[in-house]
Amino acid sequence: MNRKNNRYSFFAAAFVCAALLSGGCNDRDGLIDKDDVRHVPALNAQTFMPLSNESGSVKAYVGTEVSVSGFNLDQVGSVTVDDIAVEITEQNIKQIKFKIPALDHAQRDQPYAVELKAFDKQEQAFYTGDYFVTIPVTDAIVSGYAPAEGTVGTEITLSGRNLEQVTRVHFGGVAVEASAFTEVGPEAVKFLVPAGNYTEADSDIAISAEWGTATIDVTGETLFALHIPILDPLAAQPDGVNSVLGDEIDLTGKNLDLIDAVKWGEAALTIVEKADGTLKVRFPATIEQTDPVVQSAALTAEYGTPAQVVTLAAAWRLDTTPSATVLVPEASSMTAVDGGSDNKFYLDKTVTVAGMNLMAVEGIELRYNDGEDRKIAATLLEGTTDGELKFVVPEEVTFDTASEVDVVALYNGGDVADFGKATVYPFYFFPNITIGAQDLSNRDKAFFVPDLGRVITSDEWKTLDTKASTNVMSAKNVVDKSVVTEEEYYAVKPYFMSTFTGDVLTLQSPAGSNGQLKNIKDSDGKNITGGSSASWYGTSICVYRNISASTSAAEKKVVADIEAGTLASMAEVPYIASSAAPKYAAPSTSTINQGQIIVVEYPTYSFGTSTGMKADNVYKFGYICIHEDGISDDIPGAATSTITFDFYWSKTLNK
Mean pLDDT, the chain cut into blocks of 10 residues (655 residues total): 41 41 39 58 95 94 96 95 96 96 93 96 94 95 95 96 96 96 94 94 97 93 96 93 92 96 92 91 87 96 94 95 84 93 93 92 94 94 91 95 96 90 97 75 78 87 60 68 82 75 59 60 74 53 79 86 91 74 52 71 86 87 76 47 86 91
Do 361 and 329 meet the contact criterion of CB atoms below 8 Å apart?
Answer: yes
The H or E element that residue 3 is part of is helix 3-19
- Is the N-terminal amide bond of 229 cis, ω within 30° of 0? no
* β-pair type (112-120, 76-81): antiparallel
User: Would the CA dihedral through 339, 342, 347, 348 be positive or negative?
Assistant: positive
Could you give the 3-state DSSP secondary structure of residue 479? Answer: strand
Same fold, 141-227 and 330-426: yes
The pLDDT score that the predictor gives to residue 175 is 96
Within 10 angstroms of residue 528's Cβ, the number of other Cβ atoms is 22
The pLDDT score that the predictor gives to residue 633 is 46
Within 10 angstroms of residue 366's Cβ, the number of other Cβ atoms is 22
Q: Which of 601, 366, 655 is nearest to 489 (CA)?
A: 655
Q: How far is CA 389 from CA 355, 361, 386, in A?
A: 9, 9, 8
Q: What single letter denotes the amino acid at residue 564?
A: A
Domain 3-133 has CATH 3.40.640.10: no
Could you give the 3-state DSSP secondary structure of residue 324? Answer: coil
Q: Which of 557, 594, 561 is nearest to 575 (CA)?
A: 557
Do 411 and 625 meet the contact criterion of CB atoms below 8 Å apart?
Answer: no
Q: What is the DSSP letter of 439?
A: S
Do 304 and 195 meet the contact criterion of CB atoms below 8 Å apart?
Answer: yes
Do 221 and 199 meet the contact criterion of CB atoms below 8 Å apart?
Answer: no
Angle 98-102-107 (CA atoms, 0-180°, nearest 5)? Answer: 125
- The residue extents of the domains of the chain are 3-133, 141-227, 237-319, 330-426, 429-649
For domain 330-426, the CATH class is: mainly beta
- Cα separation of 508 and 626, whole Å? 14
Q: What single letter denotes the amino acid at residue 639?
A: A
For 450-537, where are the alpha helices, taking DSSP H only? 458-463, 486-491
The pLDDT score that the predictor gives to residue 174 is 96
For domain 237-319, the CATH class is: mainly beta
Do 283 and 320 meet the contact criterion of CB atoms below 8 Å apart?
Answer: no
Angle 117-118-121 (CA atoms, 0-180°, nearest 5)? Answer: 140
For every residue of 109-137, which 3-state class applies, written as one string? CCCEEEEEEEEECCCCEEEEEEEEEECCC
Q: For the sheet containing 149-150, what is the strand order?
A: 149-150, 224-227, 202-205
CA 581 to chain centre: 29
Do 256 and 279 meet the contact criterion of CB atoms below 8 Å apart?
Answer: yes
Q: Which of 400, 445, 401, 449 is nearest to 600 (CA)?
A: 449
Backbone phi, then psi, for 410, in 5-degree steps? -100, 135
- Cα separation of 514 and 533, whole Å? 9
CATH number of 141-227: 2.60.40.10
- Cα separation of 470 and 484, whole Å? 10
Side-chain-side CA neighbours of 284 within 13 Å: the count stands at 25
The pLDDT score that the predictor gives to residue 588 is 45
Flag whether the pTM goes above 0.85.
Answer: no
Q: What single letter denotes the amino acid at residue 258?
A: L
Backbone phi, then psi, for 102, in 5-degree steps? -65, 135
Helix, strand, coil percentages (3-state) for the chain, rounded to 5, are 10, 45, 45
With 0-12 CB in 10 A as exposed, 13-18 as middle and 19+ as buried, what is 296? middle
